């Protein structure tokens, strides 16, 4: 039943994904059936742009398999497009592979391809920590309409059903970063304070609370952290006598030893997460939410 619902939702999104190739902002919604691409990283392809390797003169090894997940019969051609987004947010679009008509097809991105398509990139010195390359497609249908999956600034031009579909991946993102190997299980020591009135004074603030935290490697410096609060939310809820029924796991990014993340917690508060990888391999991070609850955690790999 779940798969049927997912397919129905995806087909509904497919009908809505069409966008007019007009930046005037006055396009009319067209419910003609469109097409959805699928971009998958090939085995052995880099999952990020390795700044250290580039500075040493090595090649970029980004490779994708491009196919049409839905609507192939209506497709005339596909351009694989890239958006190079600098750390300051400025974005530039380039066509990395033009006029594809046979699928699936392998597309390889090298330094020369990037240099040819982006004026902001002329040498290895132009790559910087915090930059990112976002790859997607522009699909031309047989009726002449163009489906642009990304906006001019690299943001998504499609709805959550397409973004969250398990059936295909419509964009791939490559951070300019350094090699990252933080995955594993860590002993956690946390200190923090809550703005809630529930905990007694000797329990709030709390110091040196111990727990276990796991970092799951998703590639490219992206990690799922099992408990970004270092156990403090669970501790405070134990004090209240309440068992939390929400998932604490969140995504954080390691960019050359600087870790960051942001999300909305179960109570609707915005959370900011910042940390560093220390020279001894431990990780120290601090989180704070919009209510003023905060905590600092040190992780030691087991």
Per-domain residue ranges for the chain?
29-177, 184-301
Residues 6+ apart with CB under 8 A from 107: 63, 64, 65, 66, 80, 96, 97, 100
Answer whether 107's CB lies under 8 Å from 40's CB: no
- Show Cβ contacts of residue 155 under 8 Å, excluding neighbours closer than 6 positions: none
Q: What is the CATH number of domain 29-177?
A: 2.60.40
Q: What is the architecture, at CATH level 2, of domain 184-301?
A: Beta Barrel (2.40)
The CB-side HSE value for 284 (13 A sphere, CA atoms) comes to 5
Q: Provide the pLDDT for residue 243.
A: 63
pLDDT reported for residue 242:
62
- The pLDDT score that the predictor gives to residue 27 is 39
Q: How many residues does the chain have?
A: 302
Condensed to tens digits (0 to 9), the pLDDT of residues 10-19 reads 443 444 444 4
Check residue 163 and give its pLDDT: 84
Report the candidate in 273, 300, 279, 302 with the shortest Cα–Cα distance to residue 192: 273
Beta-carbon contacts of 43 under 8 Å, excluding residues fewer than 6 positions away, are none
Q: Which residue has the tokens 């408990």?
A: 227
Reported for 162-165, long-range contacts at CB under 8 A and 24+ positions apart, including other chains, are: 162/10, 162/13, 162/14, 162/17, 162/36, 165/6, 165/9, 165/10, 165/13
For residue 134, the 8-state DSSP code is: E
List the chain residues with pLDDT less than 50.
1-32
92 beta partners: 84
């Amino acid at each position: 039943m779940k798969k049927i619902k997912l397919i129905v939702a995806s087909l509904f999104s497919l009908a809505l994904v069409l966008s007019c190739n007009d930046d005037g902002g006055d396009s009319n919604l067209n419910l003609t059936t469109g097409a959805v691409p699928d971009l998958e990283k090939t085995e052995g392809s880099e999952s990020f742009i390795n700044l250290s390797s580039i500075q040493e003169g090595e090649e970029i090894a980004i490779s994708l398999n491009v196919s049409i997940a839905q609507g192939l019969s209506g497709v005339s051609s596909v351009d694989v497009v890239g958006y190079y987004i600098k750390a300051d947010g400025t974005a530039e679009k380039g066509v990395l592979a033009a006029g594809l008509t046979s699928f699936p097809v392998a597309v390889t991105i090298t330094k020369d391809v990037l240099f040819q398509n982006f004026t902001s990139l002329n040498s290895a010195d132009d790559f910087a920590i915090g930059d990112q390359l976002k790859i997607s497609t522009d699909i031309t249908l047989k009726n002449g309409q163009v489906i642009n999956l990304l906006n001019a600034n690299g943001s998504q031009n499609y709805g959550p059903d397409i973004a969250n579909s398990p059936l295909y991946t419509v964009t791939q993102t490559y951070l300019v970063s350094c090699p990252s190997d933080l995955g594993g299980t860590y002993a956690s020591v946390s200190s923090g304070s809550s703005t809630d009135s529930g905990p007694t004074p000797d329990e709030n603030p709390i110091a040196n609370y111990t727990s276990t935290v796991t970092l799951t490697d998703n590639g490219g410096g992206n990690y799922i952290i099992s408990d970004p609060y270092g156990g403090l939310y669970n501790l405070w809820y134990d004090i209240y006598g309440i068992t939390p029924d929400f998932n604490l796991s969140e995504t954080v990014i390691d960019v050359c030893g600087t870790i960051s993340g942001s999300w909305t917690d179960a109570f609707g508060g915005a959370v900011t997460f910042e940390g560093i990888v220390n020279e001894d391999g431990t990780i120290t991070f601090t989180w704070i939410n919009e209510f003023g609850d905060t905590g600092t955690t040190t992780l030691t790999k087991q």
